[in-house]
Each structure stands twice: as C-alpha cells, then as structure tokens.
Amino acid sequence: MSSELNLILLGPPGAGKGTQAERLTDDFNLPYIATGNILRAAVRDESGLGKQAKAYMEKGELVPDAVITGVILESLNSDDARDGFLLDGFPRTLPQADALGEGLEAAERRLTAVILIDVPDKEVTRRLSGRRVSVKTGRVYHIELDPPKHEGRCDIDSSRLVQRADDRAETIAKRLAVYHAETEPLVEYYDERGLLRRFDGTRTPTEVHDHIRATIATLRLEDEL
Ligand code: AMP
C-alpha cells in the first residue's frame, strides 16, 4: 500500500494539466483519469451520463456533484487504478473532495499529493482561446504557441481541427469564474492536510514537468523509507 502513487492535478483550465499528465503517466506508469475526457466521450456516445452532462459543459458550468462523483469513485476502485492513479479535473468542489476522501478511506487508501499548477487568468485566457483540437486524434494545438504544420489540419492524419465549445471567449470567462468560486477553495483544503505541492505553470512545459517529476520521485522515496 505504501508505494501507491495517488495523485491529483489541480489548477485552472488551461494550466497545462493535460500536457503534464501525459508525461507523468509515462514517467510513473499511472492510469490517467480525466473527468473532462470521460464526460466529453459520454456526450459523444450520447450515453445517460453524457445526456446529463452536456448542457452544463457547453455553458462552462460544473456538472452536479452527484453525477460525476460515482463515476470517478468507481474508476478508482477498478483493477487499473489499484496501484495508483493520476486524477485530473476531479475533485472540482469541496463536496467532491470530501466524497473522494471518504471513498479512499473506505478502501484504506490515501492521497500521496495534490499537484497545483498555478497560472494567472490572463495567461489562461490566451492559452484557451487559441486552443484547437483534432476531431479524430484528440491531439491539441495552439494557433500561436504550438501551431499545426498546415492551418486547421492535424499533423498526424490531416483531420480537421476544431475549437472546443467551452473554449470560446464567453465560456472561458465563465469557467474561470467557476474555478475561482468552486475549485480554488481546494487549494487551502489540501494545504491544511499537508498534501499540496505548488508549481509555477507559466514556465515551459518541460520545466514544469522536471519540477513535478522531481517532487513526486522524492515523495515516493520518502514513502518507501
Ligand atoms: P475539463 O476538460 O476538465 O476542463 O472539463 C470540461 C467540463 O466538464 C467542465 O467545464 C465541466 O462542465 C465538466 N467537468 C469536468 N470535471 C468535472 C467535475 N469534477 N465536476 C463537475 N463538472 C466537471
């Protein structure tokens, strides 16, 4: 039990959580559980979960706690996540954090750390408004910071690049407001529990990654001693 890495990625939309998650899941061989991706897939598949979530997501609002919490607790109990996990996008509210804490405790597990990637609102807005994603491969680009080789087309298979409905300017402002009101209180919540680790998300993706990786490696070492 002690060498489990049970990690949460926290930070505003556009902080680079997805980018870091890709690298960290590779480094530490962890399953990546991203609620945004799970919900978007559910909307695409028109499943019951998707139908419940769609309208909230398009407006940049949070899906109700009861809709998302059960789905996530179930995936943490799956065989895949038995030896650890990297959660992105959950918890997003204090009730979700409490539910997660109770779920883990019931399974005699605990969190290893909460990784906060800090980025100011202005930078978040710049990043999200330029974000484009391939309809087929899911690969993410940025029209200024990481453009595709051919405008509007994915480098991998030339599939079309689109803007996520919730990356439109008016929705970004809403998502940021929701982040500050609902999710930011988790910073203090996890700090009080000694779990919070802060990282400057305005650095390059490689720098942010190096810092996080070093911190996690140290935490794991301490755990094994
Ligand atoms: P993300 O890709 O993490 O930005 O999530 C996209 C959208 O999915 C959010 O704006 C919410 O509408 C919804 N969502 C994702 N995670 C949660 C969560 N933990 N609680 C409520 N809604 C969520």
Our mutation pick for probing the ligand 1 site, out of 62, 86, 178, 186, counting the most ligand atoms within 8 A of Cβ, is: 62
Evaluate: CB of 63 within 6 angstroms of ligand 1. yes
Dist. CA 39 → ligand 1 center (Å): 7
List, in sequence order, every residue forming a beta bridge with 23; answer none if it has no partner.
none
Evaluate: CB of 11 within 6 angstroms of ligand 1. no
In a domain, 146, yes or no: no
Phi/psi class of residue 71: alpha, beta or left (left: φ > 0; alpha: ψ in -120 to 50)? alpha
Evaluate: CB of 134 within 6 angstroms of ligand 1. no
List, in sequence order, every residue forming a beta bridge with 9; answer none if it has no partner.
88, 115
Q: Are 12 and 121 in contact (CB under 8 A)?
A: yes
99: CATH:
3.40.50.300
Helical pair 48-59 and 65-76, crossing angle rounded to 10 deg = 120
In a domain, 165, yes or no: no
In a domain, 74, yes or no: yes
In a domain, 107, yes or no: yes
In a domain, 158, yes or no: no
Question: How much is the average pLDDT of 164-184?
Answer: 93
In a domain, 125, yes or no: no
In a 10 Å sphere around its CB, with 0-12 CB exposed, 13-18 middle and 19+ buried, how is residue 102 labelled?
Answer: exposed
Q: How many domains does the chain have?
A: 1
Largest CA distance in the chain: 51
In a domain, 208, yes or no: yes
- Indicate which residue's Cα is closest to atom 2 of ligand 1: 36
Evaluate: CB of 60 within 6 angstroms of ligand 1. yes
In a domain, 99, yes or no: yes
Dist. CA 214 → ligand 1 center (Å): 28
Domain that holds residue 98: 5-119+196-217
The tens digit of pLDDT for each residue in 74-107 reads: 999 888 898 899 999 999 999 999 999 999 999 9
Q: pTM for this one?
A: 0.89
The tens digit of pLDDT for each residue in 181-223 reads: 999 999 999 999 999 999 999 999 999 999 999 999 999 888 7
The tens digit of pLDDT for each residue in 109-157 reads: 999 999 999 999 999 999 999 999 999 998 999 999 999 999 999 999 9
